[in-house]
Amino acid sequence: MLVIVAPGQGAQTPGFLTPWLEDDVFASRLHWLSTVAGMDLAHHGTVSDADTIRDTRVAQPLLVATALVATLELFPHPSDGYSRVGAVAGHSVGELAAAVGARAITAEQAMVLVRERGNAMAEAAATTPTGMTALLGGDRDEVLATLARHGLTPANDNGPGQIVAAGTMEQLEALKADPPAKARLIPLSVAGAFHTEHMAPAVGHVARLALSVSTHDPRIPMISNKDGQVVHDGRDVLRRIVGQIASPVRWDLCLDTMADLGVTGILEMPPAGTLTGIAKRALKGVETFALKTPDQLDDARAFCDKHGEGSLIDVTPTWRMVVSPAKGTFHIDPRAFETDLLAAGAEIGSVASLRDRLLVRAMHGGQVVEWLVEDGDPVAPGQPLLRLHPEGAEL
């Protein structure tokens, strides 16, 4: 199974777009997204220095636009991706690119949202002096206990031995003076404490804009940063992306879900390297491909052909499928099983895993056509559970 991932802020480096812009089609598409974003992304990806592209207001649109245009280079026709990609995920702001790849929102909607997201997060960061520090190594429980003692948030949990703490500069100084044993601290050059309560004002602004965004249910399973669940409702995808501005990135749980899916290959969109590096440490035996320059495209396509199996939910229209959010054992709700017509939002059952028990709802409702699992069946993330037909439509 192939998973495509999009990196988050910090992956950008000066001049990384230079080789890509030698392609006139790539340049034209980037110019279109630049127009939507209201800034010259080609300039920032080729000429701007490290300090300029570190600015949240620049970095976020630059990263999302790059991933979107590079995806079209890799899969010129969307159907090419649907037949090969088993799941998508994005780290932090990369989730917006992943949502476009899954066809939950459009590229233009993503660029408006990322423009406003970057501006709002920069404004929120300017309110109070805050920052972030990476902790490498150490005992996980001790690291988390130390952060709690200092009032810090584990803003990015990137997997074994890599947690990013966020909070006020005073809290980070206290952490420096009293670190967890055997953990190496690396202060990050970022504008503020992203993915913490300090970003709450940005959530409110982006949430108001999101009310006017039309969504579609993903054509490819999308793995959420919030909890590693596979999300199959377009509105839920958008809600999670907005709320995640002020909540931790649980990339460790996303990696767990990839393992549950049986991933064999992970391809990271440019500017690549960060997420494939994490995957090499966390998912032993899984092949990775970091797409950094256009001269790798032929090899990247071959990598996709090797690992691509397509999405389980692409075999039928997604508006009439309810899928599992996680790996576990599915238990059917008797009330749902005994009815032929489900209301929107009706519970159809739950998935019990080692971590928790997750309710599963038929977000759109409709006429029950076919149960695709039985009570007590083991299920995988994104596995179809129930086929529905819209109420009032002809079967």
Annotated catalytic residue 92: yes
Local structure of 128: helix, strand or coil: coil
Query: What tokens were used for 101?
Result: 């790849």
DSSP H stretches of helix in the chain: 24-37, 41-46, 50-54, 56-74, 78-82, 94-101, 107-125, 140-149, 169-177, 200-210, 234-243, 251-261, 274-282, 297-307, 334-337
The residue from 34, 48, 91, 92 that is catalytic is: 92
Query: What tokens were used for 362?
Result: 């038929």
Contact between 242 and 202 under an 8 Å Cβ cutoff? The reply is no
The answer for residues whose C-beta is within 8 angstroms of residue 198's C-beta and 6 or more apart is 124, 125, 127, 128, 130, 166, 167, 192, 246
DSSP H stretches of helix in 187-327: 200-210, 234-243, 251-261, 274-282, 297-307
Contact between 263 and 230 under an 8 Å Cβ cutoff? The reply is no
Sheet (strand 162-168) strand order = 153-157, 162-168, 130-137, 183-188
Query: What tokens were used for 269?
Result: 């969109």
Cα 56-60-63 angle, rounded to 5 deg:
140
The residue from 195, 232, 307, 364 that is catalytic is: 195
Pairing of strands 366-371, 346-352: unpaired
Contact between 3 and 261 under an 8 Å Cβ cutoff? The reply is yes
For the chain, report the end-to-end CA distance as a whole number of angstroms. 33
Local structure of 373: helix, strand or coil: coil
Annotated catalytic residue 195: yes
Residue type, 132: M
Catalytic residues: 92, 195
